[in-house]
Amino acid sequence: MTVKRTVGGYGSNWLCDNITVGDTIEVLPPSGVFTPADLDADFLLWAAGSGITPIMSIVKSVLSAGTGRVVLCYANRDERSVIFAEELRDLAAGYAGRLTVLHWLESIRGLPTPAQMSGFTRTVFPGSAGFDSFICGPAPFMAVIKDALTEAGVPPARVHLEVFRSLSGDPFDDDNLSVTTDFDDGDAAAVRVDLDGTSHQLRWPRRATLVDVLVAAGVDVPYSCKEGQCGSCAARLVHGEVDMASCEILEPEDLTDGLILGCQARPVSDDLHIEF
């Protein structure tokens, strides 16, 4: 795990202030979809700042378990800000024929623009349209890279973004740790929920979220922020229709594939089937 303290960051500040060497933290298993489908493919990876964390996992996985080539473009304010600098040098030396690491330092080249990155992509990576691009970093950086790849002719299906948004409330506050369990199920849908190898048949009140309903039923459902921003409660809608107040963290293709957020989903149809 890599933690970088940010101003006003709830999680990063709590971890930096409270966790020491030797402590054990209970966490949820990985639940995101920012993962390569084929480690033997060729990858064009983009990271900025602490956005290197999931990108580094992809780099190591492809190099150790796959056969694909990897080009990493890593943006930072200056040379001192480069996370994993020594490890990246060692990997580039050990996999010289497969890994290329390119650094973009704001102190030298300024903030990247779509025009710069589009030209950069076309000249440095002329075959990039055939690479799978994974992008992680601040929202403006990801927008620049996404626009540059589009301009360079990279198909949208080959562009993957790690969407992360800061929480609007303190997740460690007692009020935010609670969930609603008191609701009238007079107007409710029927839902089957498959979770951890067990199938649950429940009544789902129209005004309740799926997380509310499962917690009220004593089901150990994964969830965290309850704001639709972390993806911990992501599930697949196998059958039926739901409405979500917030789902910006999901990409259009995620929604097409049936992914929903349990903390935001409320039933629209009368009969539903959901898998975690």
Torsion from C-alpha of 120, 124, 129, 134, nearest 10 degrees: -70
- What is the b/e burial string over 21-38, where b = at least 16 CB atoms within 10 angstroms of the residue's CB? eeeeeeeeeeeebbebee
What values do phi and psi take at 189, rounded to 5? Answer: -100, 165
pLDDT in tens, 129-176: 678 999 999 889 999 999 888 888 888 889 999 876 556 666 666 555
pLDDT digits (tens, 9 = 90+) for 108-120: 999 988 888 877 7
What residue ranges define each of the domains in the chain, with the CATH number in brackets? 35-161 (3.40.50.80), 174-275 (3.10.20.30)
What are residue 259's DSSP bridge partners? 236
What does the pLDDT look like over 179-225, one tens digit per residue? 565 666 678 999 999 999 999 999 999 999 999 999 999 999 988 87
Helix (H) or strand (E) holding 13, with range, is helix 10-18
Does the CA dihedral 140-70-58-105 come out positive or negative?
A: negative
Output the pTM of the full model. Answer: 0.64
